[in-house]
Amino acid sequence: MDFIEGEILHIDKPLHWTSFRLVRVVRAKLCQKLKIKKLKVGHAGTLDPLATGVMTICTGRKTKEIEQLQYLTKEYIAEIMLGATTPSFDLETEVDAVYPTGHITREIVEECLKQFTGRIEQVPPLFSAVKVDGKRAYEFARKKEEIELKPKILVIEDIELLSCNLPTITIRVVCSKGTYIRALARDIGECLKSGAHLLALKRTRVGDVTLNDCLQVEELDDFFNRQIVAADDDRR
């Protein structure tokens, strides 16, 4: 592998890591091992700190393919708590309201999920990186300033109820670029005449790449060492 010329890596992002932290770690390790001061490294699709799973990392000239890679279909497994909402729609913020769930059954959940298949409109979360008047939406949200975010058109190819242990449900979602699973959790809660927020999120596939194809962070040093040695041997 030639990391300077450009490579595409797939890494399982750890819980609580930002996407940018993973990029920084990859860049720092490669610069140290290649004995260089600079290297272009970027990611093709942000994951929230509380999400885990497939992250596509590009180095060198492959960073030019990031925009194209972002359009690949993604699959997620999401655990959702019904009956309570949070401002961020996940566990990053505290519960701000509770709602009844006694009327909800598995059949009602399955009927509700059907409404989210195909082309849908989705309003992004206030706690997101969407730009409003040159600022990120989360900057307004953290100051508790009211702003209106416009709905975006996106495509959900498939949505499946994997488990229903009320008030918790687990779903599998196959969707297009720009889908906020946190916002989907909010919308499912509203559809069920209740509230909801995300408990856990794992990105299980990007394009044809699954979690089984991903490197773990603790494997990076050994992987980079082996690839760099192999590349040096090829040049001899």
d(CA 168, CA 165): 5
pLDDT of residue 113: 97
- Give me the sign of the Cα torsion angle 164, 99, 107, 89: negative
pLDDT at 135: 66
Mean pLDDT, all residues of the chain: 91
- The pLDDT-based confidence of 178 (bands split at 50, 70, 90) is confident
Q: Could you report the per-residue pLDDT of 9-53, keeping only the tens digit for each?
A: 999 999 999 999 999 999 999 999 999 999 999 999 889 999 999
Whether 181 has a pLDDT exceeding 70, the answer reads yes
pLDDT of residue 146: 72
- Residues with Cβ < 8 Å from 107, sequence gap 6 or more? none
226 Rama class: left (phi>0) / alpha (psi -120 to 50) / beta: alpha
Q: Which of 89-93, 111-115, 144-148 has the lowest mean pLDDT?
A: 144-148
pLDDT attached to residue 131: 67
Asked whether the predicted pLDDT for residue 130 surpasses 70, the reply is no
Domains of the chain: 8-71+209-235 (3.30.2350.10), 74-206 (3.30.2350.10)
230: confidence class by pLDDT, cuts 50, 70, 90: confident
Q: What is the pLDDT of residue 150?
A: 81
Asked if 171 contacts 201 with a C-beta cutoff of 8 angstroms, the reply is no
Q: What one-character DSSP code corresponds to residue 177?
A: T
pLDDT digits (tens, 9 = 90+) for 141-175: 566 767 767 889 999 999 999 999 999 999 999 99
Residue partners of 115: CB distance under 8 A and separation at least 6: 191
Q: Is the pLDDT of residue 236 over 60?
A: no
Q: What is the mean pLDDT of residues 60-65?
A: 96
Residue 128: pLDDT band with limits 50, 70, 90? low
Q: Mean pLDDT over residues 65-87, rounded?
A: 96
Dihedral sign computed on CA atoms, order 59, 65, 70, 74: negative
Concerning whether 232 is annotated as a catalytic residue, the answer is no
48, 90, 208, 221: which one is catalytic? Answer: 48
Higher per-residue pLDDT: 230 or 148:
230
Cα separation, 81 vs 58, whole angstroms: 35
Range in 33-42, 68-77, 88-97, 135-144 with the lowest mean pLDDT: 135-144
* pLDDT the model gives residue 64: 96
In the structure, what pLDDT confidence band is assigned to residue 126 with cuts at 50, 70 and 90?
A: confident
